[in-house]
Amino acid sequence: MHFQQERDGQHRSDAADRAVRHRFVTVDGIRTFYREAGPADGPVVLLPHGYPCSSFQYRQLMPALADRWRLVAPDFPGFGHSATPDPAEFAYTFDGYAGFLDRFAQTLGLGRAALYLHDYGSQIGLRLAIRRPGLIAALIIQNGDIYEDQLGPKYDGLKAYFTAPSGEGRRKLAEAVGEAGFREEFLNDVRPDVAARISPDLWQLAWAQLDHPVRREVMVGLMEGLRENLQWFPRYQAYLREHRPPALIVWGPQDGYMPEGAARAYLRDLPEAELHLLDGGHWLLETNLDEVAALARRFLERHHAGDRT
C-alpha cells in the first residue's frame, strides 16, 4: 500500500512537471502572453511561432519534452493572446519582432537556449541569433526557409508582387488574411490522409484571433516584408557558416512554400546537421508530433542537456 502511494505520488509529480502553464508578462510596456512548461532550472528551449498561428502551435510539443527542458513559447504582439500596440509605438517587422524576442528572453532571464525555428519564427529567431550568438545553444529547424533558390511554387504570387507592386496585388494579399486563406496555409499541399490529421480548429482559432483591423493590416505588412527579408537570407546563411550551431533539421516536404530542397539546402552551410524528412507538411507538430518529439529529445540530450548530476 505504501509503495502504491509513493508510485501514485510520483505519477502526479511527473504530470505536474509536464503541465503547460499560461502566463502574462509585460515586455516594453506590452502585455505579452506566453506558455511555459518544464523545470524552472532546466535547459531552455525557446519557441517563436509562425504565421498565422501563435504559441498554440507548440501546445502538444511542450509537455512531451517538459520532463527535462524548460520550454517557453510567447505570442508576439499582434498575435494570439498578446496585446496589439499602436503601430506608431511598435515595429511590426521581422526585425522589430527579433528585438522583442530578445527583450522577452531577457525579461524572463532565460539565458542560453535552444531555438525552434519554424515559418516566420525562423526569420525572427535567426535575426536574434545574429544579434546574440552567445545565446544560442542549438537549433531545431522545421520548415523555415532561408534559401531563395529553393522557394516552392506557392511563393510565385508573392514574388510577382515584389517585382511589380500594385494596389490589386496588395488587395489579393489582404484577401488571404481570412479564414479561407488560413485554411490554405494550414493544409498547404499535404496529401488528403495527412490533411485529415489537421484540425479545422487551427484556422478557425487563428482567424478569430487575427480578425481585428490592426492585426489584419499587420499580417499584410508582414507578407510585404518578406521582400526585404529575402535580402537577409545571405546573412542567415553566413551566421550558420560562421557559428556552426548544432542543428536538427526535421522537415515536412509536402509544403508548397518550402519543399524538400529547402531542407537540404541547409546542409550547404551546416554540413554536420542532422536531417530528417518526415511524411508530412508545413505543420508537423499537428501531424507527426511523436516523431518530432522523439527526434528533438535525442538531439537535445546530446547538445543541450544541461547538468546531468
Q: What burial class does residue 309 get, using C-beta atoms within 10 Å of its C-beta: 0-12 exposed, 13-18 middle, 19+ buried?
A: exposed
Whether the pLDDT of residue 308 is over 60: the answer is no
66 Cβ partners below 8 Å, 6+ apart?
17, 18, 19, 20, 37, 38, 39
CATH of the domain at 202: 3.40.50.1820
Whether the pLDDT of residue 4 is over 70: the answer is no
Mean pLDDT of 160-180: 96
Residue 81, number of CB atoms within 10 A of its CB: 17
Whether the pLDDT of residue 9 is over 60: the answer is no
Taking the C-alpha atoms of residue 135 and residue 51, their distance in angstroms, rounded to an integer, is: 24
pLDDT at 161: 96
User: 306 pLDDT band (50/70/90 cuts)?
Assistant: confident
Mean pLDDT of 178-189: 97
Is 12 domain-assigned? no
Is 9 domain-assigned? no
User: 15 pLDDT band (50/70/90 cuts)?
Assistant: low
Is 224 domain-assigned? yes
Q: In this structure, are residues 27 and 65 in contact, taking their beta carbons and an 8 Å threshold?
A: no
pLDDT at 298: 98
78 Cβ partners below 8 Å, 6+ apart?
84, 85, 92, 214, 215, 218
Which DSSP category does 282 fall into? S
What's the total number of domains in the chain? 1
User: 307 pLDDT band (50/70/90 cuts)?
Assistant: low
- Give tens-digit pLDDT for 77-106: 999 999 999 999 999 999 999 999 999 999
Is 76 domain-assigned? yes
- Domain of residue 107 covers 20-303
Taking the C-alpha atoms of residue 18 and residue 112, their distance in angstroms, rounded to an integer, is: 21
Whether the pLDDT of residue 263 is over 90: the answer is yes
Whether the pLDDT of residue 241 is over 90: the answer is yes
- Give tens-digit pLDDT for 94-149: 999 999 999 999 999 999 999 999 999 999 999 999 999 999 999 999 999 999 99
Mean pLDDT of 245-249: 98
Is 5 domain-assigned? no
Is 309 domain-assigned? no
What's the chain's average pLDDT? 94
Q: In this structure, are residues 289 and 61 in contact, taking their beta carbons and an 8 Å threshold?
A: yes
Is 13 domain-assigned? no
Share of the chain above pLDDT 90, in %: 93
- Give tens-digit pLDDT for 33-60: 999 999 999 999 999 999 999 999 999 9
Is 55 domain-assigned? yes
Higher-confidence position of 7 and 254: 254
